[in-house]
């Protein structure tokens, strides 16, 4: 992805895409401690708008706080940097990636004595789990890798190192011919996908795991809000694997994955084996909201 035209915001300046480089002795590259965000901007009738920009930026600052990384820019500067990269790259709809990392002054586990850096890039990125996945649903396999225990990795943070676990799980699922992995927590309850939160529908009610071992997803929160506002009861609770097999519907949520139906888990068909009606309703609502077609949720959209 490095050989492109365009601009990337790095440490306060817009620079050429090809010049946005770091040294090979960068601390974060060796030990995996960096924090990042995944944000999306959508085309609306009033111009391009970033979905829940403030919430994503708040999560980035909280992720940094958890690891005691001091971001050397204030909140508004990082907000504006995200708007700027969308504008400067003339993107109508895109994915935005802010990253905070530890510099290359010194190595060793302790990050002390290193500078902290920030970059924001943006590019076009279609359906993360495929266009067909959005309409027909995907095939998922329960991972042999457990999700992080909350006392081992801090899952409230969207931290680069946490994704080693995601890569292991996703790699295993893809190698075995599935589209994505579903990770259980260390006690065996359903947690989340490698880059998505997880939901099931049973008897018209929506269920999702509580936040003990999964990321506090912003799409998850949007779906919970949309469901409640539209009269669908939502319950956050521990979910077992066999509960999923017997669910009427299941889906993943995430900035990249948006709302992706799940048609199969571990070779058991879920419900009718295609996108279920509540999933479809929430998906439709979500796409109306991000396209600026739902006045009630305009406050979730930040114009660029």
Q: Catalytic site residues?
A: 158
Q: In angstroms, what is the minimal distance from the CB of 258 to ligand PMP?
A: 9
Of the two residues 48 and 253, which places its CB atom closer to ligand PMP in the complex?
253
Task: Using the Cα atoms of residue 211, residue 190, residue 170 and residue 133 in order, give the sign of their dihedral.
Answer: negative
User: What six digits make up the tokens of 215?
Assistant: 């990321």
Give the DSSP H or E segment for 208. strand 205-208
Strands 258-265 and 138-142: parallel
The neighbour count for residue 242, using CB atoms within 10 Å, is 10
Alpha carbon distance 183, 163 (integer Å):
12
Of the two residues 104 and 253, which places its CB atom closer to ligand PMP in the complex?
253
The pattern of x and - marking residues 80 through 119 that bind ligand PMP according to CB under 6 A reads: ----------------------------------------
The pattern of x and - marking residues 178 through 197 that bind ligand PMP according to CB under 6 A reads: --------------x--xxx
Q: In angstroms, what is the minimal distance from the CB of 196 to ligand PMP?
A: 5
Q: In angstroms, what is the minimal distance from the CB of 218 to ligand PMP?
A: 4
Q: In angstroms, what is the minimal distance from the CB of 163 to ligand PMP?
A: 7
Alpha carbon distance 300, 289 (integer Å):
8
Binding span for ligand PMP by CB under 6 A among 27-35, 167-175, 205-213, 252-260: 252-260
Of the two residues 104 and 260, which places its CB atom closer to ligand PMP in the complex?
260
Binding span for ligand PMP by CB under 6 A among 11-19, 103-111, 131-139, 248-256: 248-256
The neighbour count for residue 117, using CB atoms within 10 Å, is 20
Q: In angstroms, what is the minimal distance from the CB of 197 to ligand PMP?
A: 5
Of the two residues 219 and 260, which places its CB atom closer to ligand PMP in the complex?
219
Tokens 């971001």 belong to residue: 71
Report 131-160 residues binding ligand PMP (CB under 6 A): 158
Report 208-247 residues binding ligand PMP (CB under 6 A): 214-215, 217-220
Alpha carbon distance 41, 303 (integer Å):
9
CB 261 within 8 A of CB 249: yes
Residues across the chain: 304
Q: Single out the residue of 10, 38, 184, 270 in contact with ligand PMP (rule: CB under 6 A).
A: 38
Residue 259 touches ligand PMP, criterion: CB under 6 A = no
CB 215 within 8 A of CB 192: yes
Cα 122 to chain centroid distance, Å, stands at 15
Alpha carbon distance 99, 165 (integer Å):
19
- Contact set with ligand PMP (CB under 6 A): 38, 158, 166, 192, 195-197, 214-215, 217-220, 253-255
């Amino acid at each position: 992805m490095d050989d492109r035209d365009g601009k990337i915001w790095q440490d306060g300046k817009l620079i050429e895409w090809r010049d946005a480089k770091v040294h090979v002795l960068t601390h974060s590259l060796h030990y995996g401690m960096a924090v990042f965000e995944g944000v999306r901007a959508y085309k609306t009738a009033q111009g391009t708008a970033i979905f829940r920009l403030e919430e994503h930026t708040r999560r980035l600052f909280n992720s940094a706080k958890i690891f005691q990384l001091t971001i050397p820019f204030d909140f508004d500067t990082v907000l504006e940097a995200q708007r700027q990269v969308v504008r400067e790259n003339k993107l109508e709809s895109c994915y935005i990636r802010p990253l905070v990392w530890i510099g290359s002054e010194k190595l060793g586990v302790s990050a002390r004595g290193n500078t902290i850096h920030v970059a924001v890039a943006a590019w076009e990125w279609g359906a993360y789990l495929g266009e067909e996945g959005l309409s027909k649903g995907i095939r998922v396999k329960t991972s042999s890798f457990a999700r992080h225990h909350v006392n081992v990795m801090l899952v409230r943070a969207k931290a680069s190192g946490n994704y080693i676990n995601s890569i292991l799980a996703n790699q295993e699922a893809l190698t075995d011919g599935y589209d994505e992995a579903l990770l259980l927590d260390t006690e065996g309850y359903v947690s989340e996908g490698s880059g998505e939160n997880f939901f099931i529908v049973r008897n018209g009610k929506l269920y999702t795991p509580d936040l003990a071992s999964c990321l506090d997803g912003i799409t998850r929160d949007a779906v919970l809000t949309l469901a409640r506002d539209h009269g669908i009861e939502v319950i956050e609770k521990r979910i077992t694997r066999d509960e999923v097999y017997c669910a009427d519907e299941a889906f993943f949520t995430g900035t990249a994955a948006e709302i992706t139906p799940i048609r199969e888990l571990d070779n058991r068909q879920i419900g009718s084996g295609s996108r279920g009606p509540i999933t479809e309703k929430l998906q439709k609502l979500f796409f109306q909201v991000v396209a600026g077609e739902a006045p009630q949720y305009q406050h979730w959209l930040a114009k660029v």
